[in-house]
Amino acid sequence: MGTAKILEKNNSVILAIIKGSFWGVAFSLICILIFAFILKYTSISETVIQPVNQVIKGLSLLVACYFTSRTVHKNGWLVGLSVGLLYTVLTYLIFSILEGNFVFGLSLLNDIVFGSIGGAIAGIICISLLRK
């Protein structure tokens, strides 16, 4: 395989990871908007916010890895880890801008670890399922 072919293949993998991550972010935004409306118009306790946010992140990682795995068909853990890391950074930036507050701390580190591990698991699941 020539150098040009390898670079083209690597660029398509990187592009797929970026596109998949954006799909995951879009899914998160939609789910969070829906959840915000539910919270506003019902009497659901605020204690459910954190667990629901974690579920939304997990589902968003699955969505992101699903869209990525439609293009990339191997190395699910590595692709998923990359998607999870990029998704986490993008959501952190977007929600920090919306909130007007950038905080670097333990919760960001937790999100990066959760996003990376969750992405790796989602990548393995999605690529394995789409291969069959």
What is the C-alpha to C-alpha distance for residues 95 and 102, in angstroms, rounded to an integer? 9
Spatial separation of the C-alpha atoms in residues 122 and 100, rounded to whole Å: 31
Could you read off the pLDDT of 81-118 as tens digits, one per residue? 999 999 999 999 998 998 888 888 898 899 999 999 99
User: Is the Cβ–Cβ distance between 60 and 27 less than 8 Å?
Assistant: yes
Interval 14-70: pLDDT, tens:
999 999 999 999 999 999 999 999 999 998 888 999 999 999 999 999 999 999 998
Q: Tell me 102's DSSP state.
A: -
Query: With contact defined as beta carbons under 8 Å apart, do 64 and 24 qualify?
Result: yes
Single pTM value for the model? 0.87
